[in-house]
Structure 1
């Protein structure tokens, strides 16, 4: 890139109840504060130019309950496999396209329920794991939708929440308690995938803890592109020794 900046693409749309435009604006602010050149688009056609996607460092999708042409998904998958990072929140990344299993396979999970709907108070428990990405962030309370998800067992779980919530009745409460992933990372080829299930609306993304989680996630995901490019230039093929350091 001529200006030396990392490039990010934010794509928003779908169900307007998630305030996708407002959340996209918060994404843009976080990224620009970190020196990214940011393009924001409100159309899935932003995924049509595969070569352009391959030139990015980061894709930040924020599209809920949509329908998408399979070819557009394959372009995104190819870009991430080549090293472009992808990071997002809530339904904007893991309830984007309910009928596209390829998207779900890449992102690492799919929303299936939020017992009690919006306004449920719950604790986000930060895990001590092999990743330092959330180091220094303490457990915190959120009042929002509590996402129950189907999750790829290959993900690295960085934060969880407990189900069932004692304040929320439902048929799921007769099962044993489970720690549901809230924040995770995974790999897709040479690319880095980061997800946080928080963010029903913009006020949740604007919480200091969530803003910091996403700042770190964006940086971590975007870092993978340079590492993958460097490994390819050295003839090393797909880079597999990527650390979880925050740039």
Structure 2
């Protein structure tokens, strides 16, 4: 019997990022690929570590706020065991600003969006970086332009050029800031895309929707990949005890 593929989405935090709408969109994306999605309006479900271990994918849609250390640890252990972790914009990498282990796991942290919303910029696809971006071309976006502090270990799938607007950072050199990336946390796959200030960005700019949907599925498929190859968390256990 084929195992049912499952995803867990928890939504909340700052309402300005439209967590309910974004969660609903991601649920639809995953259902198109055969996933059964459970959506929760609080973090209380994260207390159930065994349930998280059963998931193929965890999707945080929670901007700012705080997370209990035991909740974050439960997610960390599930992802390390093979469960995927994927999210967008502030819903994943501007969540739980005081929790550095969350930042370590997700691969980056928002620090600014010079100019606010309504900034025109280009997303540049890093061709050949991943099957996630296969066939995608560079595309324009009008939205918040995320400046992030990023883990140098990530695999960058798309970038954008800074600066676009005048702000204090223009005294420094021009940089290509990651927009989307993948990384690993133990045996688990992690995907992040900085687009998604409002839910409709994934409709207005179709390549953004394609990128996000592919990233969600890529992260979710990691659990089966790890199981098929007999990957365990034994090699991580000694270090994990520190947390």
User: Would the TM-score normalized by the shorter structure come out above 0.5?
Assistant: yes
Give the gaps of 5 or more residues in structure 2. 235-243
* 1:202-245 deviations in Å (ceiling 9; x for gaps): 1113332121111111111011101112222xxx5469xxxxxx
Alignment of structure 1 residues 183-202 onto 2, 5 Å: 183-202=180-199
Distance 1:128 1:66 in 2: 35
Tell me what 1:173 maps to.
170
Matched, 1:108 2:107: yes
Q: Distance in 1 between matches of 2:10 and 2:41?
A: 6
> Paired residue for 1:94?
93
Shift of 1:60: 0.8
Q: Secondary structure in 2 aligned to 1:162? A: strand
User: How far has the Cα of 1:91 moved from its partner?
Assistant: 0.3
- Other-structure match for 1:230: 228
CA distance in 1, matches of 2:142, 2:129: 28
TM alignment of 1:155-166, pairs within 5 A = 155-165=154-164
What's the Cα RMSD here? 1.6
CA distance in 2, matches of 1:164, 1:45: 40
Residues 156, 184 of structure 1: 8 Å contact kept: yes
Question: How many angstroms does 1:131 deviate by?
Answer: 1.9
SS of alignment partner, residue 181 of structure 1? strand
TM-score of the two chains, using structure 2 as the length reference: 0.93
Measured in 1, the distance between the counterparts of 2:20 and 2:115 equals: 25
1:1-247 map, 5 Å: 4-165=3-164, 168-206=165-203, 207-232=205-230, 237=232
CA distance in 2, matches of 1:12, 1:135: 30
SS of 2:121's partner is strand
Please tell me whether the aligned partners of residues 11 and 44 of structure 1 are also in contact (alpha carbons under 8 angstroms).
yes
1:133 is paired with a residue whose SS is helix
How far apart are the structure 1 equivalents of 2:232 and 2:83? 15
* Contact 2:57 2:85 survives alignment (8 Å): yes
Instruction: Give the Å deviation of 1:68.
Output: 1.1
- Write the distance in 2 (CA, Å) between the matches of 1:198 and 1:130: 18
Distance 1:31 1:123 in 2: 27
- What is the CA-CA distance between 1:195 and the residue it aligns to? 0.3
Give the drift of 1:132: 2.4
Distance 1:35 1:50 in 2: 24
**1:155–1:184: 8 Å Cα contact kept in structure 2?**
yes
Gap runs ≥5 in structure 1:
240-247
> 1: CA distance between counterparts of 2:161 and 2:174?
7
The Cα of 1:133 is off from its aligned counterpart by 1.6
- Kindly provide the CA deviation profile for residues 109-148 of structure 1, in whole angstroms up to 9, marking residues without a partner as x: 0000000000000000001244222011110000000000
- Count of paired positions: 234
